[in-house]
Amino acid sequence: MITPKIAAKAAPTGAAPTTAHARARSNIALIKYWGKADSRLNLPAVGSISITLEALWSDTSVEFEAAHRVDELTLNGERNPNHLARVTACLDMLRGIAGVNVHARVSSRNSFPTGAGLASSASGFAALVSAAAAALGLELSPREQSIIARRASGSAARPIFGGFVEMHVATRADGTDSFAEPMLAADEWPLEVVVAITATREKDVSSSRGMTRSAESSPYYRAWVDSHPADLAVARAAIGARDFAALGEVAESNCLKMHAAAMAAAPPLLYWDGATVECLNRVRELRAAGIPVFFTIDAGPQVKAVCAPGARDAVRAALADVPGVLDTLVTGLGPGVEVGAGPGAG
């Protein structure tokens, strides 16, 4: 366990339990993170650009108490030993910064299906870092929280911030310059997202394992990494200019490149269902009919259709009608992590 070099500004003194809760949103990357430069520090091999989603959140409460003998995790109301090791590793970083050795009871609830490619680890770990830091009395800046969240899950570094967010690759060996930064607030370009849910099962191969397998075995992985800075530059310019068509073109291309690299891994990674492909075709048809929308897909079968303001209802109706689509969610862009917000999860 390597404690990130972050100095504690305050730490709890008494033995009383310290509790805090936080709400963090999920996010989707328009320019994807796929591949690690360093697995130990969880440094991404490529930068990424994401949008934070208002309606897809994790509410997490953390209670540190000297009497707890081990960390405990309750996820959506049920004890969850599967994700406990990653939660403990994240808490260990914060305990190391605070200089304490108390265990925690963590309770987290998602407003959306867990582990099915809707970035529950991103919102979950962003909320965990902020809630645990507050419960320990640590005054960490958003950037420091982003660095710690990155260590837990790369995509969790981004939704510490709201709206449009860029995540940087490290240039320093210790990774202290690999953090996310806000680009535009949610209301500065109020895009909306329709999520077409085609399955609610947890995915077979996690993003972590999928990207490692892609790096180790896909003949397209190098091309993915090498062509990435150009995609980031195009997306940055499109966001700066609020150019929806340009952003959509580079986002769709970047998404398909990521999946092409994954599909060419050994054994191959195919995150899509038949309905995923039908949704892509439907989005293209909508666009051909003049509706401003583009798609993106993460490591799961769900299709996220990003809509210019005003397009959402037509997109939702069209995707809900695709055979194999079980449900649709609609969300605007949301704020960064909020500490003390939301009901106590439990």
Binding stretches for ligand DP6 (CB under 6 A): 29, 32-34, 42, 48, 119, 121, 153-155, 207-208, 298-299
CB nearer to ligand DP6: give 105 or 259.
259
As measured in angstroms, the least distance from the Cβ of 283 to ligand DP6 is: 18
Cα separations (Å) of 73 from 62, 87, 104, 129?
Answer: 9, 8, 9, 14
Tell me the C-alpha distance between 165 and 179, whole Å: 10
Tell me the C-alpha distance between 214 and 209, whole Å: 9
CB nearer to ligand DP6: give 119 or 133.
119
CB nearer to ligand DP6: give 91 or 98.
91
As measured in angstroms, the least distance from the Cβ of 317 to ligand DP6 is: 27
As measured in angstroms, the least distance from the Cβ of 215 to ligand DP6 is: 12
Q: Tell me whether the omega of the peptide bond preceding residue 267 falls within 30 degrees of 0, making it cis.
A: yes
CB nearer to ligand DP6: give 29 or 129.
29
CB nearer to ligand DP6: give 90 or 102.
90
For 285, the token pair is 């048809």
CB nearer to ligand DP6: give 8 or 256.
256
As measured in angstroms, the least distance from the Cβ of 48 to ligand DP6 is: 4
CB nearer to ligand DP6: give 63 or 252.
252
Tell me the C-alpha distance between 291 and 17, whole Å: 53
As measured in angstroms, the least distance from the Cβ of 271 to ligand DP6 is: 9
CB nearer to ligand DP6: give 33 or 112.
33
CB nearer to ligand DP6: give 23 or 228.
228
Q: Which residue has the tokens 């902020």?
A: 130
Q: What is the dihedral sign for C-alpha 204, 209, 212, 213?
A: negative
